[in-house]
Amino acid sequence: MGEMIKMVVVLTVLSIVSGGSLSGLKVFTEPKIENQVMNLVKGPAIRQILEAADNDPVEDRFKITDGEEERNIFVGVFDGTADTVVVESSANGYGGKIGMVVAINMVEEKLRGVAVTTHTETPGLGANAKSDPTFAAQFTGKSITDSFGVTTDGGQISALSGATITSRAVATGVNQAVETYKELKPQLEEQINSMGK
Amino acid sequence: MAKSIASEFTKGLWNEVPPFRLVLGLCPVLGVTTSMKNGIGMGLATTFVLLCSNVLVSLLRKVIPAKVRIACFIIIIATFVIVVEQMMAAFAYGLFLDLGVFIPLIVVNCIVLGRAEAFASKNGVFKSTADGLGIGLGFTWALGLLGAVRELIGTGSLKGDVFGMITWDFQNIFGAAFEPLGFAVQAPGAFVILGLLLCAMNLIPSK
C-alpha cells in the first residue's frame, strides 16, 4: 500500500511540476513565436499580395474578437484610403492544415490577393499552392459575392495538377475568409475609421 | 567504479557514438540530415534533452519508484522536448521549420530513454552529466557528418549556420563542372550513405 501511494505521489508531483513550468515557458515564448511567424511567414506573404500598398500592412494590424477567437486583421492603404483588409484563415488540405492570408478590397468587394503561408502539403504537388504564383493569382480580382471552388466541382479556379485536394482546401479557406469578413465588416470599418487612415 | 568521469564523456564521442556504433536513434539520423546545418541543429537539440533528462533522472533516481520509472522518465524527457521545441520556435524559427516533426519525435528517440534507463538511473549526477553530454555530442557530430556528406554530394556546396553564431559557406567545392547528385539528399540516399559511413566506421577498429 505504501508503495502504491508513493507511485501516485511521485507521478502527480512530476506532472504538476512539468505542467507548471511548461505553462510558464509558454507565457515567455508565445509573443516571441508570434513575432517570428509574423516576420518570417505571414509578413512576406502579406507584403507580397499588397505590394502596391502605401503603408506597411504588417505594422498596421489590429486584433478583433470573433466569438471566442482573436483574429489578426491587416490593413492596406491604397491611393490614400484604407480600403483593403487582410484576413487569415485555414482549411484542411492533403497533409494537414493549410494557412493562408486573403486580401479583400472593401470598396469593390473583390479579392485583392491570396497567399498560402503555412502548409504541410506534398513537395512538388500540393506545395505548389505556395510556390507557384499563377495558382494564387487566379483569385485576384474575383468578386466575393460568389463562393469559390475548383473547376472539377463546377467552380472557377483551375486546380493544381495532381493536387485537387490542396486546391479545394485553398478555395475553402478563401470562402471562410470571405465569410469572416462579411460577418465582421461593421466592426472592421469602425476599427479602420478609428485608425484615421 | 574504476571508470572516471572523463572516460564516461569520451566514450560517447567515439566508442559508443550512437548512430554508428550502437546503431540507435536512426529515425532522425535518416530524416533530418539533408544538410549539415539541420544535422547539427538536431544533434544539439537532442544533446540538450539528453543532458537535462540525464541530470534530472540521476537526481531523482532514489525517489522514483521502480514500477513507474519509465512513466517518470517519459514525463521528464517530454517536458524538456517541449522546452526545446518552444525555444527553437522562438529563437531559431527557420531551423524549427526545417526540422518540423522531428523535434517532438526526440521524445521517442531511444537514445534518450536508453541513457536514462541504462545509465542515469544507476549512476551519480556527475557521471550522468558527462554521459549525457558525451553521447549527445557524439550524436551531433555523427548527424553533422552524415548531413555534410549528403549536402556535399547532393548540392556540391556546404552552407549554413548554428543558431546564427557560427556560419559557413563553401560554394562548389568540387568545381563548377560538378553535377549535383540529387539522390543523396532524398530519403533512399540517406540509407545508402549511412550504410557507407557505417562501413567506414567499422574499418576503423574501436579499442
Give pLDDT tens digits for B49-85.
999 999 999 999 998 988 899 999 999 999 999 999 9
> Does A22 reach chain B within 8 Å, measured CB to CB?
yes
Angle at B57 between CA B53 and CA B62, to 5 degrees: 175
Return the minimum-mean-pLDDT range out of A42-56, A134-148, B77-91: A42-56
Whether residue A27 lies inside any domain: the answer is: no
Say whether pLDDT at A197 is over 60: no
User: For residues A47 and A115, what is the distance between their CA atoms, to the nearest angstrom?
Assistant: 10
List pLDDT tens digits, range A139-174. 888 888 888 888 888 888 888 888 889 999 999 999
A98 vs A78: which has the higher pLDDT: A98
- Check: CB of residue A139 under 8 Å from CB of residue A121: no
| pLDDT, averaged across chain B | 86
Cβ atoms of B137 and B47 closer than 8 Å: yes
Q: Does B65 contact A at CB distance below 8 Å?
A: yes
Chain A residues inside the 8 Å CB shell of B78: 18
Residue A53 reports pLDDT greater than 90: no
- Tell me if residue A100 falls in helix, strand or coil: strand
pLDDT in tens, B118-150: 899 998 999 999 999 999 999 999 999 999 998
On whether residue A8 sits in a domain, the answer given is no
Nearest-by-CA chain A residue for B64? A10
The answer to whether the CB atoms of B75 and A11 lie below 8 A apart is yes
- Enumerate residues 74 to 133 of chain B having a beta carbon within 8 A of any beta carbon in chain A: 75-76, 78-79, 82-83, 86-87, 89-91, 93-94, 100
- Answer yes or no: is A6 within a domain: no
Number of domains in chain A: 1
Mind listing the pLDDT tens digit for each residue in A87-129? Answer: 888 899 888 889 898 988 888 888 888 988 888 887 778 888 8
- A20 in any annotated domain: no
pLDDT attached to residue B174: 75
CA–CA separation, B85 vs B45, rounded Å?
Answer: 9
- Whether residue B47 is predicted with pLDDT greater than 90 in this model: the reply is yes
Please determine, for residue B178, whether its predicted confidence score (pLDDT) is greater than 80: no
For the question of whether the overall pTM of this predicted structure is more than 0.90, the answer is no
Q: What angle do CA B127, B128, B131 make, to 5 degrees?
A: 85
Nearest to B65 among A3, A37, A120 (CB): A3
Which domain, by its residues, includes A68?
45-195
Q: Which residue intervals of chain A are DSSP H helices?
A: 2-37, 43-49, 128-131, 133-137, 164-195
State the nearest Cα–Cα gap between B88 and chain A, in angstroms: 9
Which of the two residues, A54 and B87, has the higher pLDDT score?
Answer: B87
CA B69 to chain centre: 24
Q: Do A22 and B67 touch (CB under 8 A)?
A: no
Phi first, then psi: what are they for A105, rounded to 5°?
A: -80, 115
Q: Do B90 and A37 touch (CB under 8 A)?
A: no
User: How many A-B residue pairs are in contact by the CB < 8 A criterion?
Assistant: 48
CA-angle at B51, arms to B3 and B80, nearest 5°: 155
Residues A6 and B116: their CA atoms lie apart, in Å, by 21
Q: How is residue B3 written as a grid cell? A: 571508470
What is the percentage of chain B residues whose pLDDT exceeds 90?
32
Q: Is the pLDDT of residue B152 over 60?
A: yes
The residue length of chain A stands at 197
A32 assigned to some structural domain = no
Q: CB B89 to CB A36 under 8 A? A: yes
* Domain membership flag for residue A17: no
Average pLDDT value for residue range A167-193: 87
A40 is a domain residue:
no
ipTM above 0.85, yes or no: no
Asked whether residue A86 is assigned to any structural domain, the reply reads yes
> Cβ distance A15 to B79 under 8 Å?
no
For A64, list phi and psi in degrees, rounded to 5: -135, 140
